[in-house]
A = this chain, B = another copy of it.
């Protein structure tokens, strides 16, 4: 017997038939002898509708009231799933954030979980009652409803799994696991059986939209074993059907590279002819920070003439116009010769904890891209990943080449 937390997102509970389908999946786990808590999102479309109502009334509105409004979506789903479970003979009851209670801080709209008192919920589960928890929401010390920000139901689920000391947290979604790369682009992509938290974090933040970054961080911190799997495909046999996100020591044979991620959400800016002297980077990035524009990759060329250099960096595609505006406004103080921007770029990254102990991982990447005539514009590296910025038109070619180069293709 294990203790499980199952999480179902908005698409999984998108209509009444799907809620009934979720109830059947929960029943399978209960019938297998497990103690189960289920975390649910709002039915797909509901949260957007509620957010839209708030905006229609006031562009800028009290986030505490926004929270009261939008948290209602998860409340509805939790009650409906409890009814659906009871209807097929599974004892169940719904839990709102304030009923557990799940205490969250007072940064309404993007509140962080402070603690969860699972005493009563846990007692209920021990007595065989499935706990159906409204995700995305908690209650502040002052007794106000607080929501955890978009995608917060993943975070609710992982935090609850940690507090309940659950054996596993299963995140049901519309994909059946984490792949070596995007299977829509690379046909030979394989589903990973296991991946480490660190790798998952890199994949999540690099654009593989499977799990919310925050929830992976929390899972890593509390050593919660997380499985990503599909709501819409039936598990075959007794093996875990999805991808398990776990500590590194749970992975016996570590691959050199686990996956290749990409993000089209980048745009490149180059400042040509900036002075090559101390403080210039601070002068450039200060105004961008003030405008709340995040800078990702940064490269500063070696100065040829000893006086001026070029500075290249990337910002989110949505921020490119604003970034250019800010930099042009500061042209006099920054004292650069010319600004070039390019939104037709993509960031491709190879990720793997195995590269910590192996040399030549980056080199293999550069060679594979060079063999295809793909020019690398910017490079950045971390302990477990190498990212390059290339022209967007090469995305598919680059992914396929790298997937083969690192031996990730299906047998």
Q: Which residues of A contact B (CB under 8 A)?
A: 16, 19-20, 50, 53-54, 56-58, 61-62, 64-69, 71-73, 75-76, 78-80, 82-84, 86-87, 93-94, 96, 98-99, 143-145
Residues of B within 8 A of A64 (CB): 93
CB distance from A64 to the nearest CB of B (A): 7
CB distance from A333 to the nearest CB of B (A): 39
CB–CB A69/B79 < 8 A: yes
| A–B complex contacts, Cβ < 8 Å, 23 sampled | A16-B56, A20-B57, A50-B76, A54-B83, A57-B80, A57-B84, A61-B86, A61-B87, A62-B83, A62-B86, A64-B93, A65-B80, A65-B86, A66-B83, A68-B75, A68-B79, A68-B96, A69-B75, A69-B79, A69-B80, A69-B83, A72-B75, A99-B144
Bound together, the chains give a CA A69 to CA B83 distance in angstroms of 10
CB distance from A47 to the nearest CB of B (A): 12
Bound together, the chains give a CA A57 to CA B92 distance in angstroms of 14
B53, B62, B66, B82: the one contacting A65 at CB < 8 Å is B82
Max count, chain B CB within 10 A of own CB: residue among A80, A94, A145: A80
Residues of B within 8 A of A67 (CB): 79
A contact face: mostly helix, strand, loop, or mixed? helix
Bound together, the chains give a CA A323 to CA B15 distance in angstroms of 39
Tell me whether A99 and B16 are in contact in the complex, defined as CB-CB below 8 angstroms, given that A62-B83, A86-B62, A94-B68 are known contacts: no
CB–CB B93/A53 < 8 A: no
Taken together, the copies of this chain in the complex come to: 2
Bound together, the chains give a CA A87 to CA B94 distance in angstroms of 34
Residues of B within 8 A of A76 (CB): 50, 53, 69, 72
CB distance from A382 to the nearest CB of B (A): 42
B58, B65, B73, B94: the one contacting A94 at CB < 8 Å is B65
Bound together, the chains give a CA A72 to CA B70 distance in angstroms of 10
Residues of B within 8 A of A19 (CB): 57
Bound together, the chains give a CA A379 to CA B72 distance in angstroms of 50
B20, B56, B75, B143: the one contacting A75 at CB < 8 Å is B75
Which 10 residue pairs across A and B have the least CB separation, nearest first? A69-B79, A68-B79, A72-B72, A58-B87, A65-B79, A65-B82, A61-B83, A16-B56, A72-B75, A65-B83
Residues of B within 8 A of A99 (CB): 143-144
Residues of B within 8 A of A65 (CB): 79-80, 82-83, 86, 93-94
5 additional A-B pairs beyond A57-B87, A58-B83, A68-B78, beta carbons within 8 Å, are: A16-B53, A58-B86, A62-B83, A72-B76, A99-B144
Residues of B within 8 A of A71 (CB): 75
Bound together, the chains give a CA A19 to CA B61 distance in angstroms of 15
Instruction: Name the residue on B nearest A88 (C-beta).
Output: B58
Tell me whether A16 and B57 are in contact in the complex, defined as CB-CB below 8 angstroms, given that A68-B96, A69-B80, A98-B98 are known contacts: yes
Residues of B within 8 A of A75 (CB): 68-69, 71-72, 75
Residues of B within 8 A of A20 (CB): 57
Instruction: Name the residue on B nearest A143 (C-beta).
Output: B99
CB distance from A222 to the nearest CB of B (A): 27
CB distance from A120 to the nearest CB of B (A): 9
Bound together, the chains give a CA A202 to CA B53 distance in angstroms of 40
Bound together, the chains give a CA A123 to CA B334 distance in angstroms of 55
Tell me whether A79 and B66 are in contact in the complex, defined as CB-CB below 8 angstroms, given that A16-B53, A143-B99 are known contacts: yes
CB distance from A69 to the nearest CB of B (A): 4
Max count, chain B CB within 10 A of own CB: residue among A64, A75, A83, A86: A83
Residues of B within 8 A of A86 (CB): 58, 61-62, 65
Bound together, the chains give a CA A68 to CA B20 distance in angstroms of 18
Instruction: Name the residue on B nearest A132 (C-beta).
Output: B65
B57, B72, B98: the one contacting A83 at CB < 8 Å is B57
